[in-house]
Amino acid sequence: MSQVKKAEIKPTPWTYFFVRLLFKFVLKVFYGTIVVENEHFIPQNGDACIVCANHSNSLTDALVLVASISSKKRNFLRLTAKDTQFGKPTFQSWLIESAGTLPIKRRKDHAEGGADNSAVMGALVKALGEGDAICLFPEGMSRYHPSVAPMKTGVARIASDVLTQQKDNPDFCITLLTCSITYMHREHFRSDVLVSFNPPLKLTPKAHSSESVKLPAK
């Protein structure tokens, strides 16, 4: 079996290093123990990867993921967040933007026809084609509930688009990595958190059929 070539590893923005250290400090102060399971499932730098996690604790989920993934595995995890959190004169807004986060427009936040995410989706597909790792919350919203909300189609669409774009690259491979974030008591000071990475699903252009996964337009 031929070895899949890694994409060229790009330098990490200096602001991301600062934000990651800040995330780790804040989480270490607030939570007692953060246990990370199955880190060996995380693909190395240069391998395209979509991290898909449950979303039960708003911005904290992103903090936990960035802090839990070792820089030896991934030097940069591209985040996404609803666009209403951008451009505000607040520390939270500055933090989100400094982490290199991309804004996603949700239909419920915009008038009909105002939730055009084509530019952002194009940027995510381009990043994956260059071997980056991106983080998506397939539920499309944060809610504290024992069950997972119905999945949005964003992950499938992005994976399909990048595989179609890379159809002439037989060495390309994208990893779908699911992650479970469990808070023992999410709002309790010094409570514990479990971050568990699950066995990955690897997709290649050869095994991808754009017709078989075509999703209906909304």
Q: What is the 3-state secondary structure (H, E, C) of the chain?
A: CCCCCCCCCCCCCHHHHHHHHHHHHHHHHHCCCEEEECHHHCCCCCCEEEEEECCCCCHHHHHHHHHHCCCCCCCCEECEEEHHHCCCCCHHHHHHHHCCCEEECCHHHCCCCCCCCHHHHHHHHHHHHCCCEEEECCCCCCCCCCCCCCCCCHHHHHHHHHHHHCCCCCCCCEEEEEEEEEECCCCCCCCCEEEEECCCEEECHHHCCCCCCCCCCC
pLDDT attached to residue 209: 62
Q: Are strands 48-53 and 174-183 parallel, antiparallel or unpaired?
A: parallel
Question: Looking at the domain assignment, is residue 192 inside a domain?
Answer: yes
pLDDT attached to residue 207: 79
Question: Looking at the domain assignment, is residue 213 inside a domain?
Answer: no
For 152, the domain range is: 32-78+106-207
pLDDT attached to residue 140: 84
Count of C-beta atoms within a 10 Å radius of residue 52:
20
pLDDT attached to residue 213: 46
Residue 205 CB partners (closer than 8 Å, separation 6+): 163, 164, 166, 167, 168, 169, 170, 172
pLDDT attached to residue 11: 60
Q: What is the rounded distance in angstroms from the CA atom of residue 55 to the CA atom of residue 45?
A: 25
Q: What is the dihedral of CA 143, 217, 84, 66, to 10 degrees?
A: 60
Question: Looking at the domain assignment, is residue 19 inside a domain?
Answer: no
Question: Looking at the domain assignment, is residue 174 inside a domain?
Answer: yes
Does the global pTM surpass 0.75?
yes
Question: Looking at the domain assignment, is residue 17 inside a domain?
Answer: no
Over the chain (218 residues), the average pLDDT of each successive run of 10 is 51 83 94 96 96 93 94 92 89 87 83 80 93 93 82 92 93 96 91 97 82 47
Question: Looking at the domain assignment, is residue 4 inside a domain?
Answer: no
Question: Looking at the domain assignment, is residue 96 inside a domain?
Answer: no
Q: What is the rounded distance in angstroms from the CA atom of residue 39 to the CA atom of residue 217?
A: 36
| Tally of domains in the chain | 1
Question: Looking at the domain assignment, is residue 89 inside a domain?
Answer: no
